[in-house]
Amino acid sequence: MSKRSMIVELLQGISTDQEATVKGWVRTKRGNKNVAFLALNDGSTIHNLQIVVDLPSFSSDLISSITTGACIRATGRLVASQGKGQSVELQATDLEVYGTADPNTYPLQKKGHSLEFLREIAHLRPRTNTFGAIYRLRHHMAYAIHTFFHQKGFFYFNAPLITGSDCEGAGQMFQVTTLDLANCPKTEEGAVDYSRDFFARQTSLTVSGQLEAEMAALALGGVYTFGPTFRAENSNTPRHLAEFWMCEPEVAFNEIEDNMDLAEEFIKFCVRWALDHCIDDIKFLAEHFDKDLVERLESVLEKPFVRLTYTEGVEILEKAVADGHKFEFPIYWGADLASEHERYLVEQHFKTPVILTDYPKEIKSFYMKLNDDDKTVRGMDILFPKIGEIIGGSEREADYDKLRKRAQEMNVPEKDIWWYLESRKFGTCPHSGFGLGFERLLLFVSGMANIRDVIPFPRTPKSAEF
């Protein structure tokens, strides 16, 4: 038996008239008394290889066990195809069934299942064209991230997932404990006695690897993290997950302008990469879910992103309201922008991605560098069409006293971040970084509308099946 070939390579049709073996899952079977045509997919590409089966040469039991969803091996001759829709096809000389899929119970019989239904069978949805395309895109975007930073001389740095500090200070952390919740040890004051817990202190899953990445940047120069992060925010929206992946670069000596330049170059690199490496999958997704997808991806590459301050952004939004535009949430200086506000700026007003800077200090995290006005901080958010916020970042407060004061004002306990503060005591320097929400990037490049459909097994409020 010849070695297994990948369908993606065979379909390039460079060397026909040769023996080949393919292994994969049957998408469809059609034909007549004499011949069957199997559409076989092995996951290497969105495209199927047509297997032509001369029925009289095979046992009818074998043929009838090959139904939609079955996993098979087909060996035969690869020839130029006579039929429409494919350049090459395999004329089977030998077939083997690895696993049948009972047509009465296999849920993916016909095409066109709703995305909601597919979420309920997340264990099988990788077998669909849609999720095959999305998971391949996910891989290529992860590879793009590593490629971009590696080429720039950054180092991939691993922040811990279990942590004792709340980076964003938003109190949205999942606790990690081995205490028996029904018989929790208590202190004399009646509080939970965490000294008896596994780590002898209270710990949680991280919301961000930034604080640790800063420690690395202040020694290695440029680093980036790329891993899962966790937020127990009760946001049941198409853009929030309780477990999502984030890429967080952090760079010594970068000020806020450098940070914006890096973020813009980075995200354009990723979008360019998707168009260059995943165009078949993108075209499939465009055809089925979002016909403007390719155009939208190309449009963000064309022009520099618009850069403006939060204050200027709010003025534009207030003027929109004065002109009769209705928002669900109120807009005023000091308000946290809702996704509808962000999307108004990007989609209606500027028609290009926007970088908003200099937010009121009250609505941003304690680590952001305070501006001289004492009211705003050097934070930046990158807002994208259809997505809203895709990147959040800032220049960091590098001054020990100012940082300590901001932590106190924002009620971040010093006992949790003493080590972080200490980095400003010894060899501090200006530095900046940002976090890209990986699934938000995937929403953008895939054209999908719901973040639950761009991560294999989504975790959201009241949902952690599979």
Residue 135 or 444: the one with the smaller Cβ distance to Mg ion is 444
Q: Does 379 bind Mg ion (CB under 5 A)?
A: no
Contact 209, 246 (CB under 8 A): yes
Q: Point out which residues pair with 56 in neighbouring strands.
A: none
Minimal distance in Å, beta carbon 214 to Mg ion? 17
Scan residues 385-424 and list those touching Mg ion (CB under 5 A).
Answer: 392
Minimal distance in Å, beta carbon 209 to Mg ion? 15
Q: x/- contact string, 338-377, with Mg ion (CB under 5 A)?
A: ----------------------------------------
Minimal distance in Å, beta carbon 391 to ligand 4AD? 5
Minimal distance in Å, beta carbon 211 to ligand 4AD? 8
Residue 176 or 436: the one with the smaller Cβ distance to ligand 4AD is 436
Residue 454 binding partner per list ligand 4AD, Mg ion, none, with a CB distance cut-off of 5 to 8 Å that depends on partner kind: none
Residue 42 binding partner per list ligand 4AD, Mg ion, none, with a CB distance cut-off of 5 to 8 Å that depends on partner kind: none
Scan residues 176-235 and list those touching Mg ion (CB under 5 A).
Answer: none
Residue 47 binding partner per list ligand 4AD, Mg ion, none, with a CB distance cut-off of 5 to 8 Å that depends on partner kind: none
Residue 209 or 392: the one with the smaller Cβ distance to Mg ion is 392
Secondary structure letter of residue 420 according to DSSP: H
Minimal distance in Å, beta carbon 455 to ligand 4AD? 9
Residue 271 or 390: the one with the smaller Cβ distance to ligand 4AD is 390
Q: Does 76 bind Mg ion (CB under 5 A)?
A: no
Cα–Cα dist 102/124, whole Å: 14
CA distances from 339 to 209, 386, 411 (A): 24, 9, 27
Cα–Cα dist 260/293, whole Å: 25
Residue 242 or 278: the one with the smaller Cβ distance to ligand 4AD is 242
**Backbone dihedral angles phi then psi of residue 139, each to the nearest 5 degrees:** -60, -50
Residue 89 or 250: the one with the smaller Cβ distance to ligand 4AD is 250
Minimal distance in Å, beta carbon 317 to Mg ion? 18
Cα–Cα dist 175/162, whole Å: 9
Give me the half-sphere count of Cα atoms (radius 13 Å) on the Cβ side of residue 396: 31
Cα–Cα dist 203/390, whole Å: 28
Report residue 433 as tokens.
């970084």
Contacts of 191 (CB under 8 A, 6+ apart): none
- Nearest residue to Mg ion, by Cβ distance, number only: 392
Which residues contact ligand 4AD by CB under 6 A?
167-168, 208, 210, 231, 233, 240-241, 244, 246, 248, 389-394, 433-435, 437, 439-440
Minimal distance in Å, beta carbon 297 to Mg ion? 23
* Position 343, amino acid: R
Contact 376, 333 (CB under 8 A): no
Residue 46 or 391: the one with the smaller Cβ distance to ligand 4AD is 391
Helix 414-422 with 400-409: angle, nearest 10 deg:
160
Per rule CB under 5 A, count of chain residues that contact Mg ion = 1
Q: Which of 415, 85, 183, 144 is nearest to 276 (CA)?
A: 144
Residue 324, sorted as left (phi over 0), alpha (psi -120 to 50) or beta, turns out to be: left
Minimal distance in Å, beta carbon 125 to ligand 4AD? 20
Residue 379 binding partner per list Mg ion, ligand 4AD, none, with a CB distance cut-off of 5 to 8 Å that depends on partner kind: none
Contacts of 356 (CB under 8 A, 6+ apart): 308, 309, 310, 313, 337, 345, 380, 381, 383
Binding site for Mg ion (CB under 5 A): 392
